[in-house]
Amino acid sequence: MIHHLNGKLVEKNPTHIIVECGGVGYFVNISLNTFSKLSNEEHIKVFTYLQVKEDAHTLFGFAERSEREIFKLLLSVSGIGSSTARTMLSSLSPIQVRDAIAHGDVTTIQGVKGIGAKTAQRVILDLRDKVLQVQEMDELSPVSNNTNKEEALSALEVLGFARRQAEKVVDRAISQDASLSVENIIKLALKNL
């Protein structure tokens, strides 16, 4: 799979862009959300998803990783194709889509052109648990000089805890005692997670 493209923006339209990388121009389908977030700078980076079918290889581009993850989740629902998923992400922001699914908001999802009541209910039913795992991957944690904190966070992530949740607990532990070892930070965090 092509993970991302980092190159020269040759053409920008509301439905597609052309990105030149290493002398090759890639035709990339985009949502209106991505169109609005892409700057008119010459050099851009877009996250991509390559859809392979019998008759075509279609490349989709996204300004943010979280939008790409929502798109992939939508494609996993029976009855939702790439054009419907792209329309949904053009009508609603990725956060609005995620929140509508998480809260069971059929009306918001049904408000997207081409989605009926049954499809909206299927989207919610199929993705309610999965969509909560899509964090704002584009939001980076503030850079810290505390290597113990970073090691503890990495260990907690490996254990299956969400970074944001773990970070709050670790910060609380460090604020009480900044001289804690990595092991003690992890132990305190595990008690509070």
- The residue extents of the domains of the chain are 4-62, 66-131, 147-192
pLDDT tens profile 66-104: 999 999 999 999 989 999 999 999 999 998 998 899 889
pLDDT at site 167? 85
Q: Do the domains 4-62 and 66-131 sit in the same CATH topology, yes or no? A: no
CA dihedral (99, 104, 109, 114) in degrees, to 10, reads: 140
Q: How many CB atoms lie within 10 A of CB 144?
A: 13
Please tell me the pTM assigned to this model. 0.68
> Which CATH number does 4-62 carry?
2.40.50.140
Tokens of 179: 């001289």
Q: Is the pLDDT of residue 143 over 70?
A: no
pLDDT digits (tens, 9 = 90+) for 146-162: 578 888 888 787 777 78
Q: Does domain 66-131 have CATH number 2.60.40.790?
A: no
For residue 151, CA distances in Å to 56, 82, 144, 158, 179 come to 44, 39, 11, 11, 14
Architecture of domain 147-192: Orthogonal Bundle (1.10)
**Whole-angstrom Cα distance, residue 98 to residue 70?**
7
**Mean pLDDT, rounded, for 156-175:** 82
Q: What is the token pair recorded at 181?
A: 């070892």
What is the C-alpha separation between 66 and 80, in angstroms, rounded?
Answer: 18
How far is the C-alpha of 160 from the C-alpha of 165, rounded, in Å?
A: 11
